[in-house]
């Protein structure tokens, strides 16, 4: 069974530029999550989708971050414009059942550096 | 608000020693789920265990064991006879039963020296 796929693996941009990350969850998984992991810290949930609807986006900085999960499968996370403090690893995860009580399977992450 | 505390930032042990990683959580929910994940140097988070709040039985899986104590809001993780491959950052996490508000702790970096 294929795992969670993410691309790109690395991205370097200058502040005020835009960037987008892509995630393809494990086939059949209803729930998809985006996390931000700043160096030395635990992952912080940005947004949680159940199928193509948003369950929780309370920690998403909506003035610059946006995410969508069209057709309830893959998802895109966008940052526009990027700030220096957005430098982090962005992790995507998926789970079979609805809700975060189910085991989450993580992708390899996208390491973003904002200069 | 939910919170997970892992007071040990870094731990170093010599191979074959036993090591316990502490996890203390806060929640107002009576039903919740606790998790442990491992993040090796490669960076990909690996699921280790999930436990719901009604199941206080300790669990053992090979060299790994978990001690869940509701009375002290703790969910500690012990590695017996540690190996160099156990070197990683370990995260404890908490989720409400409604399936929202998933919170990770800050992690404990374990270094197992040969």
Cβ–Cβ contact A88 with B under 8 A: no
The per-residue pLDDT for range B53-70, each reduced to its tens digit, is 988 888 888 999 999 999
The per-residue pLDDT for range A62-101, each reduced to its tens digit, is 999 999 998 889 999 999 999 999 999 999 999 987 666 6
- Give yes or no for a contact between B95 and B101, defined as CB atoms under 8 angstroms apart: yes
Among B4, B43, B52, the residue with its CB nearest the CB of A109 is: B43
Alpha helices in B1-110 (DSSP H): none
The β-bridge partners of A67 are: A77
Query: What does the mean pLDDT of chain A come to?
Result: 93
Position A32 scores a pLDDT of: 94
Q: Which residues of A touch B98 (CB under 8 A)?
A: 99
Cβ–Cβ contact B50 with A under 8 A: yes
Name the residue in chain A with its Cα closest to that of B34.
Answer: A101
The β-bridge partners of A79 are: A19, A65
Higher pLDDT, residue A55 or A46: A46
- Give yes or no for a contact between A44 and B104, defined as CB atoms under 8 angstroms apart: yes
Following CA atoms A91, B27, B107, A48 in sequence, which dihedral angle do they give, to the nearest 10 degrees? 0
Backbone angles phi, psi at B85, to 5 degrees: -70, -10
Cβ–Cβ contact B41 with A under 8 A: no
The per-residue pLDDT for range B58-109, each reduced to its tens digit, is 888 899 999 999 999 999 999 999 999 999 999 999 988 776 678 999 999 9
Percent of chain B clearing pLDDT 90 (strictly above)? 75
Distance CA A5, CA A108 (A): 7
Contact flag B43-A107 (C-beta cutoff 8 Å): no
Q: Which residues of B touch A48 (CB under 8 A)?
A: 100, 102
pLDDT over 70 at A1, yes or no? no
């Amino acid at each position: 069974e294929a795992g969670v796929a993410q691309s790109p693996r690395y991205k370097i941009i200058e502040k005020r530029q835009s960037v987008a990350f892509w995630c393809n969850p494990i086939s059949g998984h209803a729930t998809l999550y985006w996390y931000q992991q700043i160096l030395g810290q635990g992952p912080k949930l940005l947004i949680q989708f159940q199928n193509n609807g948003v369950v929780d986006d309370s920690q998403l900085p909506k003035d610059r971050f946006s995410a969508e999960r069209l057709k309830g499968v893959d998802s895109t996370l966008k940052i526009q414009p990027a700030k220096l403090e957005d430098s982090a690893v962005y992790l995507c995860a998926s789970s079979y059942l609805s809700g975060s009580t189910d085991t989450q399977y993580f992708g390899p992450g996208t390491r973003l550096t904002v200069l | 608000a939910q919170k997970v505390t892992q007071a040990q930032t870094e731990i170093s042990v010599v191979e074959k020693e036993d090591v316990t990683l502490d996890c203390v959580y806060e929640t107002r929910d009576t039903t919740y789920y606790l998790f442990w994940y491992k993040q090796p140097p490669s960076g990909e988070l690996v699921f280790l265990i999930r436990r719901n709040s009604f199941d206080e039985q300790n669990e053992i899986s090979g060299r790994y064991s978990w001690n869940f104590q509701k009375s002290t809001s703790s969910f500690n993780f012990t590695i017996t006879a540690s190996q160099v491959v156990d070197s990683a950052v370990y995260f404890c996490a908490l989720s409400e039963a409604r399936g929202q508000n998933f919170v990770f702790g800050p992690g404990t970096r374990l270094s197992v020296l040969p």
